Amino acid sequence: MTNQKTKAMTVAQIETFFAALRAANPQPVTELEYTSVFELLAAVLLSAQATDVGVNKATRRLFPIANTPQKMVDLGLEALESYIQTIGLYHSKAKHLMQTSRILIDQHSGIVPRNREALEALPGVGRKTANVILNSAFGEATIAVDTHLFRLGNRTGLATGKTPLAVELALLKRIPQEFLVDAHHWLILHGRYVCTARSPNCKACAVSSVCQFDGKLG
């Protein structure tokens, strides 16, 4: 996926890039629907290899019944699966969500921890999910590199790298502090709706003037 010919954006270009994204969407938020940190954790856990739209459809039915770790445990694995069976990999996700709920009850008084190590110790929660929780729930300047951010970083010259971690570290280093908290959402939304994988919509791109992609369309 990495384009070795892509030039790195300059500091000035990165400033322009994020200023344009901020102007278009001053207060970006995740498209996952939630009303508590636990609901966000559950939704992100369910969203792996699934769309936010699909997850939202399931959680609109699930969360009114089970929106806390204790209620999730009380619901039981079989019933939980019935609520999320429209989501891919729902068997393993249900198992992880149930195990996570029990750990939150037993080790964290039912509260989602604001700690990377504790978050990544939860079943089904890796670095990317922990970054989403830390950023969206707690307002920390973290970057969760999914397929969109990995593609966008390499394609635009914003932050290149051969692994998601390499791109994450490059983004944290190169994005100006004033944009860092919201950068995760801006980049995901831009990759999801404009800078798409197969056919980037360069004509409608607000940041095409600074993008280093050598295959720009328009």
pLDDT of 10 higher than 90? yes
pTM for this entry? 0.90
Q: Long-range contacts for 119-125 (Cβ within 8 Å, ≥24 apart)?
A: 122/41, 123/95, 123/96, 123/99, 124/45, 124/48, 124/92, 124/93, 124/96, 124/97, 124/99, 124/100, 125/41, 125/45, 125/96, 125/100
**What tokens appear for 72 in the block?**
């999730």
Q: Of the CATH numbers 1.10.10.410, 1.10.340.30, 3.40.640.10, 3.30.390.10, which one belongs to the domain with range 37-137?
A: 1.10.340.30
pLDDT tens-digit readout, 66-111: 999 999 999 999 999 999 999 999 999 999 999 999 999 999 999 9
pLDDT of 167 higher than 60? yes
1 band by pLDDT with thresholds 50, 70 and 90: very low
Q: Which one of 95, 128, 173, 214 is the catalytic residue?
A: 128
C-beta separation of 75 from 99 below 8 A: no
Q: Which one of 7, 106, 146, 182 is the catalytic residue?
A: 146
- Write down the pLDDT at residue 217: 55
- Identify the CATH number of the domain defined by range 11-28+142-204: 1.10.1670.10
Task: Judge whether 128 counts as a catalytic residue.
Answer: yes
Give percent of the chain above pLDDT 70: 96
**What tokens appear for 56 in the block?**
């939202």
The residue ranges of DSSP E strands in the chain, in sequence order, are none
pLDDT tens-digit readout, 117-146: 999 999 999 999 999 999 999 999 999 999
> What is the number of alpha carbons within 13 Å of residue 170 lying toward its C-beta?
21
2 band by pLDDT with thresholds 50, 70 and 90: very low
Domain ranges (residues) in the chain: 11-28+142-204, 37-137
C-beta separation of 217 from 200 below 8 A: yes
Same fold, 11-28+142-204 and 37-137: no
C-beta separation of 198 from 12 below 8 A: no
